[in-house]
A = this chain, B = another copy of it.
Amino acid sequence: MGKTESLIPQVGDAAERILAAAAQLFAQSGFDAVSINAIAELAGVSKANVFHHFSSKDDLYLAVLRAACTQSCAQLDQLESAQDSFAERLRHYASAHLDSIVRNAEISRLILREVQEGNPQRSKELAEQVFGANFARLVAILRAGQARGELRDDLDPGMIATLMIAADIFFFQSRAVSRHLPDVKHLADDHGAYSTMLMDILLHGIAKKQGEKT
């Protein structure tokens, strides 16, 4: 019925089909819960053929992860509109970031799974090869805002960036739960509204300012 089986089509190299099938299944269920048999079946090849193209299950998983990373990195490479006002630029970044996560849900889940696993070596690789560049760019935007005097300069840009990313990641990975919390269920699907409110709070704070009318 309404299952999410985007059955890997019978086009492309067998290797590509295997990679796509593995990506889908690994993202859905994690490394241990997916068997080579299941991947081979979804890709429409024999199990032995999987081992012909990839030397082991680990190797296949790493290939999937590598592909996901390059795809994820290439994602946020065109968003630069320096002529906007500073606040607008931040808003734009936040919205694009959240949008990218949600649109590439499969890749996002794959990478988040790795982050949560907390394996020290993999964490380092992820930091350096996947998140490093994008995070540094966001921090640079914030530093520019401080230099131009539009942003409080007593705040740690890394902390602000962390908060923005945290809000997006959390939105993505807790939607299934949020949907059942009466106070937030209206936000769980509208990520445009979420991003707007997020930046409103970040920019102006939640405290009522002195001299403001009630």
Within the oligomer, what is the number of copies of this chain?
A: 2
A203 to B33, CA, bound (A): 43
Q: Which residues of B contact A79 (CB under 8 A)?
A: none
A48 at interface by CB-CB < 8 Å = no
Contact B136 A162 (CB under 8 A): no
Cross-chain contact of A201 among B158, B200, B205 (Cβ < 8 A): B205
Contact A173 B139 (CB under 8 A): no
Q: Which residues of B contact A182 (CB under 8 A)?
A: 136
Give A172 Cβ to nearest chain B Cβ, in Å. Answer: 10
Please tell me the size bucket of the interface on A: 35 or more
Among residues 126 to 165 in chain A, which have CB atoms less than 8 Å away from a CB atom of chain B? 126-128, 131-132, 135-136, 139, 149-153, 155-163, 165
Contact B32 A208 (CB under 8 A): no
Give A118 Cβ to nearest chain B Cβ, in Å. Answer: 4
Contact B176 A120 (CB under 8 A): yes
A178 at interface by CB-CB < 8 Å = yes
Give A160 Cβ to nearest chain B Cβ, in Å. Answer: 6
Give A173 Cβ to nearest chain B Cβ, in Å. Answer: 5
Contact B198 A163 (CB under 8 A): yes
Contact residues of A with B, CB < 8 Å?
A: 30, 32-33, 87, 109, 112-113, 115-116, 118-120, 123-124, 126-128, 131-132, 135-136, 139, 149-153, 155-163, 165-167, 169-171, 173-184, 186-187, 194, 197-198, 200-209, 214
